[in-house]
Amino acid sequence: MDLAFSPEHTAFRDEVRAFIAASLPPHLAAKAEVDAHFEHHEVMEWHRILYQKGWAAPHWPVAQGGPGLDATRRFILADELEVANTPALSPFGLVMVGPAIIQFGTPDQQRRFLPKIMAGEEVWCQGYSEPNAGSDLASLKTSADDDGTHLIVNGQKTWTTYAQYADWIFCLVRTDAKGKKQSGITFLLIDLKTPGVTVKPFLTIGGTLAFSETWFDNVRVPKENIIGTTGGGWTVAKALLGHERTQIAAVGLSARALRRCKR
């Protein structure tokens, strides 16, 4: 098996390297050189630069604004961005909920949410884990009662990474407590500015505010914010996690770490 890049793919790699060298702002390049922490606003600055190039969501289909890169070009782009230690874009919109909306969302939902995710105009976080529902996620208790036009959400999510920066949260909520626990779960998009939402960041052992706890107290969410079907959220959640898993290899970061060790 010949694993060497084709001339076309080698040319694309050179294009990516030249783009990073020319487009990564000096203050971000300086941080990248010493492996310093990137602040949220710096991540979003780089997001906007990649968006202008058309590379913010290389895995999205062309019909939804993606660049139409083949799998090898997507790997090359991710690898070179990691090797250069550029700010890692938040995955919650681009990698997780965006592809879920592409796969399960209505045309109206796609028109409403996808362009703003792509452009970095709306930031997302994930509402899956709860104090008593982590690895056994289907045991979640956050409830969503149907009042006709809205779902009334009550409960708590934890480990909501960077919720303090987010505009929206995608949540798994329980709309039916009867029967098999996986079948009563709904995938819901919630505007974090809605009355009744409280976000409280907490310090990790490393001294960062990367995570938050998020409470919902009679939060009214329009039913048109359901992705997929009522009670069909487990299917959406599994598909979303599939997208997440394919994006965590971080081969470029591993190569960079190995070079640091050799030095």
Catalytic residues: 244
What distance in Å separates the CA atoms of residue 227 and residue 100, rounded to the nearest whole number? 8
For 151, the 3-state DSSP assignment is strand
Question: Exposed/middle/buried for 97, CB within 10 Å: 0-12, 13-18, 19+?
Answer: buried
Q: Do 183 and 234 touch, CB atoms closer than 8 A?
A: yes
**Phi first, then psi: what are they for 145, rounded to 5°?**
-95, 135
Q: Do 113 and 73 touch, CB atoms closer than 8 A?
A: no
Give 198's strand partners: 215
Of the candidates 57, 51, 20, 64, the residue with the CA atom closest to the CA atom of residue 247: 57
